[in-house]
A and B are shown apart, each in its own frame.
Chain A
């Protein structure tokens, strides 16, 4: 039986491959000029206290193995090309999560001479997890929201920060 591969942002909603992928989200994390706060909360989400790994979430070393791209940071000019390169290396279907206030629009650094307007000015973003930094619970909540489908109302997700 040939199962058609669904492409695009709704790929995680139905089908055989997406069903399998729901239980094993492999994430690649890229720090695009971040202060490390969000990054250590992402890592803390994988450590035993919060343990995202029991949900199938695993941090992979290469973008080519990833399903979801986690981006933090303000994206300064040196990192811009790298981010686009990494995004292009991730195979379809892929999703991008912008974590933290900086990734969403510059955060507290907005207005600085080498701070851009957020990750979504460069690559399409599927989910935003606000916070400075968001708690590990918020990170896991966000990733699960991505897996179970987009919220009907963009502001439905209750922030945990």
Chain B
């Protein structure tokens, strides 16, 4: 597909309001997007390389800072990889506590995402309300682990500390509140017109596309392929606390909202289950200092999808190689496919719909083949353009 270089515009990397930067080149044809070329790397920090220079324990703190939103999933994935190499059995109570915090993180991530969708659709009230409710989850995480964002809760061999006394009742009370709010938002996203015109029918992901592009997480489950790593390959306590896989066949952003809110409700059920059945015992067993040589590969279901960790040890004080694949990298190609044939106004919603763990755009680079025109929009202009476009077309 040919286009002349001076027609291509920088889809710059600085997002006006949040998250990480990214760069997309959009190529238009008759007002619809024909092709998208992503260029990531604005947040590239060389973490896998850095892990080779650090010890096994220090890497937990390194890996959880890959992402502030799914940091627990990262530390869990890495630690489980190391525990496989040490042939080490984690105490059951620790597995349950890991599950509880993992599910709390899932709820907080989905609420965060819902707020962002609201913001990008021009529905800032939803953004403010959801983020206010999300604070309840962060309070719980802080009470259990000691911090809101980078919890450092996982330790090799278990978890760092036990559930504080008296927290059980608070946890159950807050879960009732969260479930009530999640149900309210579920009804809201179905009935609220601002959201439905921006999200219904936008996407069009089919199972065939999904098989070729290999997306993960809710994006995969929106095509009807009901796969969840927690059920297929249970880790932590998921073999005893079995989640229900939420899926849909619509393949559009509207059903992604429904899937994620249903996952929130299911997570509340799993947490309640975990608290009821919490076994007694130690929360951490001492682990041998030396990790024997070997390789391990395993994956966890982060809020965004499958997070894969490959760890290789050569018997030294730190890993020889850690390879991880974040769910967003797996979903970018799918999001791009969803954008083809759509107007530019859909770009923010579709890219937010895949729940990117990098930020979005500042200047959108647009190449219009027909008019040989080029123009550039800032991220905020793109957001406003999207809102105005749908107001005109409703």
Contacts and interface: CB of A to CB of B under 8 A. Distances in A.
Interface of A: 28-31, 33-44, 47-49, 59-62, 73-74, 76, 78-79, 82, 86, 107-109, 111-115, 132-133, 135
9 contacts: A31-B21, A33-B44, A33-B45, A37-B149, A39-B19, A39-B359, A44-B135, A48-B132, A60-B16
Given A33-B44, A115-B45, A59 B17 contact: yes
A60 B378 CA distance: 12
Contacts of B49: 112-113
Contact of B50 (A34, A43, A49, A109): A109
B17 A114 contact: no
Contact of B14 (A44, A76, A86, A112): A86
Interface in B125-148: 127-129, 131-132, 135, 138, 148
A48 to B, nearest CB: 4
A33 B42 contact: yes
B320 to A, nearest CB: 17
Contacts of A29: 16-18
Nearest to A41: B149
B47 A48 contact: no
B31 interface: no
Given A35-B66, A43-B18, A82 B45 contact: no
Contacts of B43: 31, 33-35, 73, 76
A43 B131 contact: yes
B45 A114 contact: yes
Interface in B1-53: 12-21, 41-47, 49-50, 53
Contacts of B16: 28-29, 59-62
| Residues of B contacting A: mostly | loop
A59 B19 CA distance: 14
Contacts of A113: 46, 49
B18 A31 contact: yes
A77 to B, nearest CB: 9
Interface string B357-375: 1010000000000000000
Contacts of B47: 109, 112
A59 B359 CA distance: 16
B69 A78 contact: no
Interface string B34-78: 000000011111110110010000000110011111010000000
Contacts of A112: 45-47, 49-50
A20 to B, nearest CB: 24
B380 interface: yes
A111 B17 CA distance: 29
Given A61-B378, A62-B378, A133 B68 contact: yes
A41 B79 CA distance: 26
Contact of B131 (A37, A44, A73, A111): A44
Contacts of A61: 16-17, 378-380, 383
A140 B386 CA distance: 31
A31 B20 contact: yes
Contact of A82 (B21, B65, B66): B21
Contacts of A40: 18, 68-69, 112, 149
B65 A132 contact: yes
Given A39-B18, A132-B65, A82 B378 contact: no
B150 interface: yes
Given A62-B378, A82-B13, A112-B49, A38 B68 contact: yes
Select the residue from A29, A49, A74 with max chain B CB neighbours within 10 A: A49
Contacts of B138: 44
Contacts of B383: 61
Interface string B170-194: 0000000000000000000000000
A81 B148 CA distance: 32
Closest 7 CB pairs of A and B: A37-B68, A61-B380, A47-B131, A61-B16, A36-B68, A48-B132, A49-B135
Contact of A35 (B12, B65, B127): B65
B42 to A, nearest CB: 5
Contacts of B71: 35, 37
A49 B128 CA distance: 9
Contacts of B21: 31, 33, 79, 82
Contacts of A47: 127-128, 131-132, 135
Contacts of B357: 36
A36 B131 contact: no
A76 B129 CA distance: 34
Contacts of B18: 29, 31, 36, 39-40, 42-43
